[in-house]
Amino acid sequence: MSFYKVLQFNELGDERGNLVAIEGNQDIPFDIQRVFYMYGTDSTMVRGEHANRKSEFVLINVAGSSRIVLKDGLGHEESVILDKPRMGVYIPKMIWKEMCDFSSDSVILCLTNTHYNGKEYIRDYAEFIREVKEKKQ
């Protein structure tokens, strides 16, 4: 059983172009409280490198591509290539995430279920592992 979920959104389109609509609690499993996006990231950079105690995320490459590395803190690691604007990855709370291998035109749209609170971020990987192990006991 995966600790994340790849989402496929409905794509509508005609001779005018394509449209993807995403609704909270329907297409994604939470109410959307915050939206942000990343762009202009060099292909050699790594973004993210954190876990969240309360926030869930859906990441969508609305342009270009990137690779998302996910770790559950129990030794499982998986990568997802986001390269279609109708595809997203749902990341539950307490999953370590890293974004990398950005194409030059990459734009990652991020949807979350919480407003920003820096105190709920775990930015040290050793601390993340420690908290995951404590919850399993």
Of these residues, 5, 47, 50, 86, which one is catalytic?
50
User: Which domain CATH number covers 88?
Assistant: 2.60.120.10
Compute the distance between CA of residue 132 and CA of residue 50 in angstroms, rounded to an integer. 13
- State residue 126's pLDDT score: 97
76 included as an active-site residue: no
At residue 134 the predicted structure's pLDDT band, cuts being 50, 70 and 90, is very high
Domain range spanning residue 124? 5-11+26-136
- State residue 73's pLDDT score: 95
Find out whether 92 and 120 touch, Cβ atoms under 8 Å.
no
Q: Is residue 19 part of a domain?
A: no
pLDDT of 93 > 70? The answer is yes
Compute the distance between CA of residue 72 and CA of residue 28 in angstroms, rounded to an integer. 20
Q: Is residue 16 part of a domain?
A: no
Q: Is residue 20 part of a domain?
A: no
The per-residue b/e assignment along 17-43, b for 16 or more CB within 10 angstroms, e otherwise, is eeebebeeeebbebeeeeeeebeebee
Nearest residue to 88 (alpha-carbon basis) of 21, 34, 31, 17:
21
pLDDT of 51 > 80? The answer is yes
For residue range 79-88, list pLDDT tens digits in order. 999 999 999 9
- State residue 137's pLDDT score: 72
Total domains present in the chain? 1
For residue range 14-28, list pLDDT tens digits in order. 899 999 999 999 999
What's the whole-number average pLDDT of the chain?
Answer: 95
- With 0.85 as the threshold, say if the pTM is over it: yes
pLDDT of 1 > 90? The answer is no
